[in-house]
Every structure is written in C-alpha cells, then in structure tokens.
Amino acid sequence: MLAYYASDPARTAGRRIAEPPSPSRTEYQRDRDRIVHSTAFRRLVYKTQVFINHEGDLFRTRLTHSLEVAQLGRSIARALGLNEDLVEAVALAHDLGHTPFGHAGQDALNECMKDHGGFEHNLQSLRVVDRLEQRYPAFDGLNLCLETREGILKRCSAAVAAGLQAVEPGGVARRFLAGQQPSLEAQLVNLVDEIAYNAHDIDDGVRSGLVGIEQLAAVPLFARHFNTALADHPQLDALPRRWLAETLRRMLSDQVHDVIAATRAQLELHAPASADAVRLMPALVRFSEPMRAQSTQLKRFLFTSLYRHEQVVRTTQRAREVVQRLFAAYTNAPGQMPAEHASEFERRGLRTVADYIAGMTDRFAAREYGRLVGKPAFLSD
Ligand code: MG
C-alpha cells in the first residue's frame, strides 16, 4: 500500500520520449528493469569503491554495494509506505557513472577535464541513463522517468543545473534551481547509500587487515553493538568473523529503525498532503539527531583510518596516474579507442575520452594501460 506522500507511477512526470504503457508493469518497475539490463550495470561488478578490483575477491564492488543500497532502501520504503520500485531503480542506478578505481578515477578525470566542463560522477550517472546506453532503436539512453532521473542526479552545481535546464526546461535540474527536495524515495536512497558504505567499509577494512577491531572500539556506534553482541552471545569471543558480522547486522538494524522512526516523526510534523508537497519541505528522510552524530563519528573514523590509510593512498595515487596516462594516450591517438568512440571524438572531443574511460572496469583500464604504456598498471598485475 502506497502512502499518499509516496511517488505514484501512475502520476509520473513522464519520459522525455513518450512510450505506450506496459501491459504488466508500472513505469518505475520498467525503469528498474531497464537499469538491470543495461551494460553499465553489468560493469559495476568489476568496479570498486575503496579497494581496487584485483586486491581481493571478498571486497565489495559497486555492484554488491548497489544491491545492498537497494535492499536497505526497499526495507525502509516498505515500512514507510514509499514506492519500493522507484527506490530500487534509483539505488541500482546511483553509481552507474562511477569511473574505474573509485574516487581516484573520478578525481583524475575531473582534473583532465577541468577546462572542458569537468567530470562529476552523479552527472555521469545521469549521462549513462540519458545518453550513453545504446540499446533502443528510437533513442539514446534508457528514456527513464523524470523521478528516477532526478533521484540519480543527487547533487549538481548551479552552473551545471543551468546548463541542464537550458536543454530540458522544467526537467531534471528544476529542483536545484528552485531549491526544492527530490521525492522521498530519492531522499531515502541518498541516506541508505551512506548507511551501506559505512557498514561494508568497516567489514572490508577489517578483512583487509587495514583496520583493527581495537581501533573500532573507539567508535561509539560500533562499540555499542560489538559489546551487546558479546553479552548476548559469549561464544562470539572465540569467533571473530561471526562477532563482526553480528555487530554489523545490529548496526544496520539500529540505523534502519532509527531512519524509520525519525522520518515518521518528520512526516507527522510536516504532514505533506501529497508527493508534490514533499518537494517544498525540508528533507524529511533522516536520522535522529543522536544517530546523525554517531554516523558522522563513524564516517570520520573511516576517513582517517581507512580512506587515508597509507596503503589505500598509495594505490589510489597510482590509480590516478593510470587514468591520467590513459586520458593522454587516447587524446593523442583517438584511433586507439574502438571505432565508434574514435569517430565520436571528431565531433565531441575530450568528452568522448572521458565517457570512454569512465565506462571502463578496473581490470579493463589496467589492461588498456598495459597495452598503451607497455608497463603493468599495478605491481601485482
Ligand atoms: Mg553509492
């Protein structure tokens, strides 16, 4: 049952190119299905966030991350009466624009493109679903509904919003220019993205040996659940893997329940009369204040202990160089790209190179580096 403040697929603002309705699926189900069948979605399996793909088979990839975001999002959506299909569509598409090698790749491409419009992964995710996927006879992209597209475009600068508005008046950039919120479903994906990566980065950080349990004991959100898990199950003392898994499960449940309760309180307080009314209000999907503070502490911990760990920094620095060398190689010799990109280069210049590199998986980028530069991209290759 959908709440009256949920996004209703029967009242979608629609697709850029009108299509006849599906006999069996709602518009948001169709969007979700189009995303699952896209090429960019399949590539997420070989793209990483913190750890490079070759560093181990146990770590999260962008695909498993996106599935975890969809799972958390759907659980909360169901409890709040929001549209699960829209949540799932946005969750599965939210990282489609990520480059190989996580944020290092994005930073490198942004640097390469700084005099040509820059590079930003949220905007790239939108470009993927709007233009870069080529699967339909009559249009570029996946021709998704406005609600799905605006959920994917999580952030956007004023300059970029003005540019988008010029080509699509009243479209996906409107809310940024009007200072409005997206749908509750989009707000939810934004928040559960953070919940998901905080939890799995702890897991991957510990598995990789870069983060120690004793360090995590100083992070209240982790420590509380770590201690109560042991109190409830003393045998965990001898089972470190299970102890960590149980701690993370409890942390996730705690945050999920917190979001449900805090958001319900906001919905009661602001009493939006419709899905449209939500857009004029402050962001209603949120943590309680105490949980927000604990989540911020956890993020800070991960930043200093994992993302800034010297081993991670060394790999990401190398990844940045790999992307920059690839960019230079293709720019100097566009014929090194497949024929369709090489011919596109004549019309669209450097953006073609950025799109081509952004679409690569970690291992394809590493292989291309080997081919073009004649040296292994990473020492372990
Ligand atoms: Mg994400």
pLDDT tens profile 130-165: 999 999 999 999 999 999 999 999 999 999 999 999
Q: What pLDDT sits at residue 379? A: 72
pLDDT in tens, 319-336: 999 999 999 999 999 999
pLDDT in tens, 197-207: 999 999 999 98
Q: For residue 381, what pLDDT band results from cuts at 50, 70 and 90?
A: very low
Distance of CA 372 from the midpoint of ligand 1 (Å):
31
Q: For residue 60, what pLDDT band results from cuts at 50, 70 and 90?
A: confident
In a domain, residue 360? The reply is: no
Q: Which domain holds residue 182?
A: 26-311
105 half-sphere exposure, CB direction, 13 A CA radius = 27
More confident residue, 107 or 59: 107
- In this structure, what token pair is assigned to residue 40? 């960019």
Residues with CB under 5 A from ligand 1 (ion): 95, 193
More confident residue, 186 or 53: 186
Q: What pLDDT sits at residue 56? A: 62
Query: Are 365 and 326 in contact, with CB atoms under 8 Å apart?
Result: yes
CATH number at residue 230: 1.10.3210.10
In a domain, residue 38? The reply is: yes
pLDDT in tens, 34-51: 999 999 999 999 888 777
Distance of CA 71 from the midpoint of ligand 1 (Å):
13
In a domain, residue 127? The reply is: yes
In a domain, residue 10? The reply is: no
Distance of CA 122 from the midpoint of ligand 1 (Å):
10
Helical spans, DSSP H, in the chain: 27-36, 39-43, 62-80, 84-93, 102-112, 121-127, 146-152, 158-167, 174-178, 184-207, 213-216, 220-232, 240-270, 275-278, 289-302, 310-332, 339-348, 350-358, 362-373
Q: What pLDDT sits at residue 132? A: 96
Distance of CA 23 from the midpoint of ligand 1 (Å):
32
Q: Kindly list the distances between the CA atom of residue 257 and the CA atoms of 47, 194, 244, in Å, as whole numbers in the listed order.
A: 30, 15, 20
- Domain total of the chain: 1
Distance of CA 203 from the midpoint of ligand 1 (Å):
16
- In this structure, what token pair is assigned to residue 37? 């069948």
Q: Kindly list the distances between the CA atom of residue 13 and the CA atoms of 87, 122, 158, 264, 276, in Å, as whole numbers in the listed order.
A: 16, 21, 23, 26, 11
Distance of CA 303 from the midpoint of ligand 1 (Å):
16
Distance of CA 95 from the midpoint of ligand 1 (Å):
6
The Cα–Cα gap between 321 and 317 comes to 7
Distance of CA 67 from the midpoint of ligand 1 (Å):
10
Distance of CA 66 from the midpoint of ligand 1 (Å):
6
Mean pLDDT, all residues of the chain: 94
Distance of CA 296 from the midpoint of ligand 1 (Å):
17
In a domain, residue 35? The reply is: yes
Q: Tell me the three state secondary structure of residue 202.
A: helix
Distance of CA 184 from the midpoint of ligand 1 (Å):
17
More confident residue, 188 or 208: 188
Distance of CA 81 from the midpoint of ligand 1 (Å):
23
Q: Tell me the three state secondary structure of residue 15.
A: strand
Distance of CA 69 from the midpoint of ligand 1 (Å):
7
How many other CB atoms are there within 10 angstroms of residue 277's CB atom? 13
In a domain, residue 340? The reply is: no
In a domain, residue 328? The reply is: no
Distance of CA 98 from the midpoint of ligand 1 (Å):
9
pLDDT in tens, 221-279: 999 999 999 999 999 999 999 999 999 999 999 999 999 999 999 999 999 999 999 99
Distance of CA 185 from the midpoint of ligand 1 (Å):
15
**pTM (2 d.p.):** 0.95
In a domain, residue 379? The reply is: no
